[in-house]
Amino acid sequence: MSGPLLRVEGVTKYFGGFTALAGVSLDIAQGERFGLIGPNGSGKTTLINCISGSLRNDGGSIAFDGKEISGLPAYRRTRLGIARSFQIPRPFGSMSVLENLQVPLEYVVHRGALHTADTRGEAMQILETMGLADKAATPANGLTQVQLRKLELARAMASRPRLLISDEAMAGLSSSEVEEVIAILGRLNDTGIAIIMIEHIMRAVMRFSQRVICLDAGNIICEGPPEAIVKDSMVQKAYLGA
Amino acid sequence: MIPRNARFWTGAAAVIVLAVIVSLSRANEYFFFAGFVVLQSVVLATAWNILGGYAGYVNFGTAAFFGIGAYMAVVVINATGAPLAVQILAGAAVSGLLGLGTGLLTMRLRGIFFSIATVAIIFIAETLITNWRYVGGATGIQLLRPPLMEPFGSYTRMLFVVMAVLAVIAVSIARYIETSWIGRGLQAIRDTEEAAECSGVPTLKLKLFACTVSGALMGAAGAPLPMYLSFLEPASSFSLNYSVAALAGAIIGGTSHWLGPVIGAILLASVQQIVTVTIPGEINVLVVGVLLVVFVVAAPDGVLGLLRKLRGKLRRPRAPAESPS
Ligand SMILES: Nc1ncnc2c1ncn2[C@@H]1O[C@H](COP(=O)(O)OP(=O)(O)O)[C@@H](O)[C@H]1O
Ligand SMILES: [Mg+2]
């Protein structure tokens, strides 16, 4: 099928009387590298929550692979191929780092055929790409903030998604670690996985993305290739003026 | 090394064989009277732990599922006179359904709100039974024990063996859940439900499953009660003491491993039995409360947590600690 991988149309979300998303529309193509920026509180995480199913959108539609998903529980969307990381890390704290990855491996990738799967081995491979291999046996609640952010990405990768949404995974990382994560996401993207990168580190988003959207107060104020976005006066106003 | 499974099933078989041998011995009748209660609390704590320990949903409604199991046995006795095995199956089925229903009604609630809702189930169940004449209403119902079954020398001895079998079944189910993908899903739910969903875990289905299995085992534990007492009345059958004891047994033993509730329940119920025969009054209830507080404050991971720490200390020079299996 040649349609977009993800189609978001007129999505609205209200918290009481507050409008967090005021009719957001966007398309993500198969294998696209997509940047989502916007000032704090502009609705980026809320949009991700609506796409991943952690929240239900109040209006509009969300289609994945041409199929309406806005009524589906989050676990079904993950099984369809949407994975996300959490901006505020939500590890399975009582499990080891390795076991954290076994959850999506057991519940998404090898569901129904567990006895033939080597989930520990697969989890270990992913941890190696994320540079967390030496932490495999560590309880997740004993990790540092930086390690927790890497674990978020690793766990999202473990569900073998077709669309990976990274919500500020690089906050607090050193510049060499940022480079590392960009490289990892780039390699994932090379295998055909579409990636939505939400990031405050402009340099990272601009370098990584083929296309960028800027949200402000629940509205898309600008969309285009990274070079155009940095020059856009609305974006500059939203970032500097707000 | 003997594989874990073989070791477990050997142990399980040994427990049943031992129960049968002891029941045929000349041991004092009181031993079986008390042993039944201890084994019953093993079933209850183990059942409680499936939802409360593995999934982290603290259920105060044990008494409701237990009492309904007991009263289902009375219904079966009244209606058909069918044997104990049928009574137990009926108690398990109805309490399992009650668990499922409770889950459907309360699973949108989290934390303390869920716990409060489960208390309400006790009052609803008790009120229903109190107003149901067929099973004796508020005054209770007297029951005749059927003739003795060979080779058991007394009815209490037979019930002791039955409860031992139920305990082994309950622990086997809990252990299966814990060591399978289901257990990992429940653990993920306990840690963070939102991330569990986003990792593909069908949280609602798993929670309903845990509610159902937990409720069914509690009902099975209650079903032999009418025959054990030869009498059943609502106030004591739905006593909150069952709720507290089940929860306390699991927490005192340790909730992360199937062995925890077994150890905790045996410890707690034995101490209670000893206190009951040595000190008159309601002191045995106080014992549960005090032990629970001591453990929650000083050893939140229960006896198992303490043992693990100890083992870690002993082994540190050689190898890091590993969890028991
Ligand atoms: N669960 C919630 N309940 C109420 N308000 C919320 C909730 N989640 C987000 N908001 C509000 O919605 C707005 C957008 O938040 P968010 O999507 O987290 O922004 P961003 O990720 O772009 O920083 C903020 O004003 C925030 O306070
Ligand atoms: Mg955010």
pLDDT above 70: residue B1? no
Ligand 1 centroid, distance to A43 Cα (angstroms):
6
Domain count, chain A: 1
Ligand 2 centroid, distance to B314 Cα (angstroms):
46
Chain A, nearest residue to B194 by Cα: A54
- Measure the CA–CA gap between B242 and B240, rounded to whole angstroms: 5
Structural domain includes residue A1: no
Report the percent of chain A where pLDDT is more than 70.
98
What residues of B are in the A interface, CB distance below 8 Å? 181, 184-185, 187-188, 190-192, 194-204, 256
pLDDT above 90: residue B324? no
Ligand 2 centroid, distance to A94 Cα (angstroms):
25
- Measure the CA–CA gap between B201 and B60, rounded to whole angstroms: 25
Structural domain includes residue A43: yes
Structural domain includes residue A179: yes
In this predicted model, what pLDDT tens digit does every residue of B126-171 receive, in sequence order? Answer: 999 999 999 988 899 999 888 777 788 888 999 999 999 999 999 9
In this predicted model, what pLDDT tens digit does every residue of A185-216 receive, in sequence order? Answer: 999 999 999 999 998 878 888 889 999 999 99
Mean pLDDT of all residues belonging to chain A: 92
How confident is the model at residue B319, as a pLDDT? 45
B317 or B221: whose pLDDT is higher?
Answer: B221
Structural domain includes residue A165: yes
Structural domain includes residue A113: yes
Domain of residue A87: give its range. 6-238
pLDDT above 50: residue B9? yes
Instruction: Name which of A25-39, A45-59, A152-166, B292-306 the model is least confident about.
Output: B292-306
Closest atom of ligand 1 to CA, residue A218 = 14
Residue A92 banded pLDDT, cuts 50, 70, 90? very high
In this predicted model, what pLDDT tens digit does every residue of A132-161 receive, in sequence order? Answer: 999 999 999 999 988 999 999 999 999 999
DSSP collapsed to 3 states, B84-98: HHHHHHHHHHHHHHH
Residue A240 banded pLDDT, cuts 50, 70, 90? low
pLDDT above 90: residue A10? yes
DSSP collapsed to 3 states, chain A: CCCCCEEEEEEEEEECCEEEEEEEEEEECCCCEEEEECCCCCCHHHHHHHHHCCCCCCEEEEEECCEECCCCCHHHHHHHCEEECCCCCCCCCCCEHHHHHHHHHHHHHCCCCHHHCCHHHHHHHHHHHCCCHHHCCCEHHHCCHHHHHHHHHHHHHHCCCCEEEEECCCCCCCHHHHHHHHHHHHHHHHCCCEEEEECCCHHHHHHHCCEEEEEECCEEEEEECHHHHHHCHHHHHHHHHC
- Measure the CA–CA gap between B214 and B102, rounded to whole angstroms: 11
ipTM of the complex: 0.93
In this predicted model, what pLDDT tens digit does every residue of B268-316 receive, in sequence order? Answer: 999 988 888 888 777 777 888 888 888 888 888 899 999 988 888 877 6
Instruction: Name which of A3-12, A81-90, A110-119, B247-256 the model is least confident about.
Output: A110-119
Q: What is the CATH number of the domain that holds A183?
A: 3.40.50.300
How confident is the model at residue B259, as a pLDDT? 96
- Top residue of A106, A109, A141, A162 to mutate, by most chain B CBs within 10 Å, is A106
Element (H, E) at B142: strand B141-142
How confident is the model at residue B108, as a pLDDT? 77
pLDDT above 90: residue A167? yes
Amino acid identity of residue B324, one-letter, is: P
Closest atom of ligand 1 to CA, residue A44 = 22
**Which residues form the pocket of ligand 1, taking CB atoms under 6 Å from any ligand atom?**
A 15, 20, 38, 40-46
Instruction: Name which of A13-22, A136-145, A220-229, B209-218 the model is least confident about.
Output: A220-229
How confident is the model at residue B316, as a pLDDT? 61
pTM over 0.80: yes
Report the percent of chain B where pLDDT is more than 70.
96
In this predicted model, what pLDDT tens digit does every residue of B63-108 receive, in sequence order? Answer: 999 999 999 999 999 999 889 999 999 999 999 999 999 999 888 7
Structural domain includes residue A217: yes
Tokens (6 digits) for A44? 């980026």
Query: How many Cα neighbours within 13 Å face the side chain of A115?
Result: 0
Residue from A168, A152, A160, A169 nearest A193 by CA = A160
Among protein residues, the one whose CA lies closest to atom 26 of ligand 1: A41
Structural domain includes residue A233: yes
Among protein residues, the one whose CA lies closest to atom 27 of ligand 1: A41
How confident is the model at residue B325, as a pLDDT? 45
Residue B4 banded pLDDT, cuts 50, 70, 90? confident
pLDDT above 90: residue A232? no
